[in-house]
Structure 1
């Protein structure tokens, strides 16, 4: 049985979540509820739950502020927010679980399934610290990304990623400042995540950081040359889009 607490300033929201947990997640036992940051900190300190469901906006602060009260986070947490755009990018880049209000049963069940996985305390703290760093810089354009390999959790600067390459259900990341790593997610996952941060999927197997493109050769075979002199193929249907993206990136740098 997983013990949990709910911290939300709306009594109706707390009761609704409690009912849904009882109905859809019988392995979760809610052992306490709190209505703001201060009472939430006390509740977690007193009860030491396995997981905390945290509202973002509360009268005396946020769910983030609550977590900042702990030197080490020894419990798992899920943010619950009514604001679809608020910090969502930072959540995704930091691999932090969140659920949008009104809570959908499927989203809740998926979040609980993730919580059931073995997650080390160190990983939880890495996730939150990465999230805090992203929020402090710009939640609409996160600067750090958390990547999980088979052996470790890697926190990397988004700007240091040169390219990503598909390998079956895994993705190989290439950096400017560290050896390559293999991450246990598909290239599509990272295409969706990084496409608004200066990355473009030029080929079904390749996602590149446009800032590292040195040259784009369209003939005889379409490919880009990166700053490290790697040649990456460009799919036929991607050629025109890539051309426009590079023009917008630096009109004086590329000649077509």
Structure 2
């Protein structure tokens, strides 16, 4: 699950795209929100997106990467310098850089940086993913909220569909589950369905009925009163 928002700042388009592709392919916890080609553009992007980390090139025209830091003396985001020169290490440390990657960027070093970022942000945020404890087939099972695709009411039981195609049937109702897992991405959309909006693939309207198609070939009905709310969330 992506929990780190990033900005890439580099005057070379090829280098921006290369780093972006490496992050998209190998760093599952990082999402690149934007790319900037200059310090001025980077300042605008930082103010707009408030990233968790900025991958910042040092050598750029008009103003180098170190100049960017002067605009954010009390910055909340982490700085990872990216450069083709190996003689800026000490200056980067003095400038408060979190990490330093040499071009061409090595995937293993990038992954190591990702893990460092996660450790710092987890401590800072005290990240906790809510879960529900259910009794299933003689065992107590802990299910993380972000693993839930959909919950369907079936009489006095509910069927919980999980990522990977697994499901469990437990003696709870939808109201009890919603009370246990107060997260924004789990939404009640019908008297018989709760869905995880992060796992919605598509939806279609047939007459007055709206059907949501979720990961794992799971389908859920959306009642009339929730239709517009759901559409607003997915736009």
TM-score, normalisation: structure 1: 0.44
Larger radius of gyration: 2
TM-score, normalisation: structure 2: 0.48
